[in-house]
């Protein structure tokens, strides 16, 4: 059985993705409510609510095959203030890496180190934050590569994330796991541009991980919607009518098309401030009917929660997305226990990693690397 440690663990979605053949030796998250959810699903043994700045290698017992770190994204995202790795939140990368350096000094180097974050990591501070992370891998004796994965390949949610994967230099790389050149869809133009800006010394340690694309997803957004949701209530007819009144003619045309589709259609609605014909800012409701939901985000920072518009012929209803539906969008099965409080559950799921993406990377990359 392979072993792992999970930093910034949240509700343990990386653990869910890795699966039962992986043994957790350590997990941390400073958010006590997230820790409570982790314990509710995985037990009390491995998780601590220590801030990563307070964690040391002595908190981790044993040899670790893989370290997973979904460090905070606020300072790297478009919605953030642009502080990058110098920011209060995303800057926790550095105390995390200090723990890695302690493990290396103790001759307990993790075989694989995985970092997950938003795509803003590639361009933050004109790419310098990405280059700093790459230099950390290089300096610590790891070859490394990256993939960009849109969770919509696995679940009905548009959620693009960067996964940086480093492997100890003394681990042999099966030639089937690397490509001599970047390959779509996981090596995007944006990633290639960031890699091209690495200094030659660092670029020598970069590899293009060769990950197969998954089978075609056969679950749509409408498939995960509950007929009798818990924790949310259907809007009144007047509330739904008001939502429609906020739509532009183009968005109303989308609703009309959904009514004519001869099947139930589910649209995700966001309220945005837009300029009208006179240049005045007005609130608009924008709807998107596709087989995927918009990216789940945490309520903090001004990100709005998703409203659903369910169209079945002439019948139009609306409501907030339920927390169980958000969990399904993260690839969690219905046995996963969620907080009873709506905002806490929404925050937990919106701040996590999509479990089937982790499973795909584990099956096609991590596990072959460890068995080679």
Task: Indicate whether 92 and 134 sit together in one domain.
Answer: yes
Q: Which range of residues forms the domain containing residue 230?
A: 221-349
Q: In the prediction, which pLDDT does 75 show? A: 45
Which H helix or E strand runs over 302? none
Task: Indicate whether 209 and 237 sit together in one domain.
Answer: no
Q: In the prediction, which pLDDT does 44 show? A: 75
Model pTM?
Answer: 0.92
Q: In the prediction, which pLDDT does 148 show? A: 98
b/e map 53-92, b = 16+ CB within 10 Å? eebebeebeeebbbbbbbbbbbbbbeebeebbbebebbbb
Task: Indicate whether 195 and 260 sit together in one domain.
Answer: no
Task: Indicate whether 104 and 121 sit together in one domain.
Answer: yes
Task: Indicate whether 21 and 153 sit together in one domain.
Answer: yes
Task: Indicate whether 123 and 201 sit together in one domain.
Answer: yes
Active site residue 143: no
Q: In the prediction, which pLDDT does 299 show? A: 59
Q: Are 138 and 344 in contact (CB under 8 A)?
A: no
Task: Indicate whether 186 and 275 sit together in one domain.
Answer: no
Task: Indicate whether 134 and 279 sit together in one domain.
Answer: no
Dihedral of alpha carbons 20, 21, 23, 24, sign: negative
Task: Indicate whether 247 and 323 sit together in one domain.
Answer: yes
Q: Could you read off the pLDDT tens digit of each residue along the chain, which spans 372 residues?
A: 999 999 999 999 999 999 999 999 999 999 999 999 999 999 877 899 999 999 999 999 999 999 999 976 554 444 445 444 554 444 688 899 999 999 999 999 999 999 999 998 998 888 898 999 999 999 999 999 999 999 999 999 999 999 999 999 999 899 999 999 999 999 999 999 999 999 999 999 999 999 999 999 999 999 999 989 989 999 999 999 999 999 999 999 999 999 999 999 999 998 888 988 888 999 999 999 988 998 888 755 444 678 999 999 999 999 999 999 999 999 999 999 999 999 999 999 999 999 999 999 999 999 999 987
Task: Indicate whether 126 and 246 sit together in one domain.
Answer: no
Give the domain CATH number at 22. 3.40.50.150
For residue 14, give every residue at least 6 positions away whose Cβ sits within 8 Å of its Cβ, in sequence order, or none. 6, 68, 70, 116, 353, 355, 358
Task: Indicate whether 184 and 48 sit together in one domain.
Answer: yes
For the chain, how many residues are written? 372
Task: Indicate whether 209 and 246 sit together in one domain.
Answer: no
Q: In the prediction, which pLDDT does 275 show? A: 87
Paired tokens of 235: 């809007």
The count of structural domains within the chain is: 2
Looking at 24, 73, 143, 295, which residue is catalytic?
73
């Amino acid at each position: 059985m392979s072993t792992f440690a999970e930093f910034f663990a949240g509700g343990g979605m990386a653990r869910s993705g890795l699966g039962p053949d992986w043994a957790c030796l350590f997990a941390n998250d400073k958010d006590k409510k997230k820790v409570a959810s982790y314990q509710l699903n995985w037990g009390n043994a491995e998780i601590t609510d220590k801030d990563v700045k307070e964690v040391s290698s002595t908190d981790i017992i044993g040899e670790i095959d893989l370290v997973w770190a979904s460090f905070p994204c606020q300072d790297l995202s478009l919605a953030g203030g642009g502080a990058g790795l110098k920011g209060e939140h995303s800057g926790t990368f550095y105390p995390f890496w200090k723990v890695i350096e302690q493990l290396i000094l103790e001759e307990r180097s993790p075989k694989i180190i995985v970092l997950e974050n938003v795509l803003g990591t590639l361009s933050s501070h004109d790419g310098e934050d990405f280059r700093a992370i790459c230099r950390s891998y290089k300096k610590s004796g790891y070859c490394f590569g990256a993939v960009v994965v849109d969770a919509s390949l696995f679940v009905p949610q548009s959620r693009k994330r960067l996964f940086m994967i480093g492997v100890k230099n003394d681990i042999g790389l099966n030639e089937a796991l690397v490509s001599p050149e970047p390959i779509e869809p996981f090596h995007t133009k944006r990633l290639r541009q960031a890699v091209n800006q690495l200094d030659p010394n660092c670029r020598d340690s970069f590899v293009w991980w060769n990950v197969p694309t998954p089978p075609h997803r056969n679950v749509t957004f409408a498939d995960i919607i509950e007929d009798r949701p818990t924790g949310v209530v259907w809007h009144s007819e007047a509330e739904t009518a008001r939502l429609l009144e906020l739509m532009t003619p183009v968005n109303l045309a989308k609703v009309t098309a959904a009514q004519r589709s001869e099947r139930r259609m589910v649209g995700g609605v966001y309220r945005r401030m837009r300029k009208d014909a006179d240049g005045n800012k007005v609130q608009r409701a924008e709807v998107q009917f596709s087989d995927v939901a918009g990216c789940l985000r945490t309520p903090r920072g001004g990100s709005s929660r998703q409203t659903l518009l369910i169209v079945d012929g002439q019948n139009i209803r609306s409501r907030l997305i339920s927390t169980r539906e958000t969990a399904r969008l993260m690839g969690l099965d219905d046995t996963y226990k969620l907080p009873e409080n709506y905002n806490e559950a929404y925050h937990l799921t919106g701040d996590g990693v999509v479990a089937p993406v982790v499973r795909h990377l584990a099956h096609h990359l991590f596990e072959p690397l460890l068995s080679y």
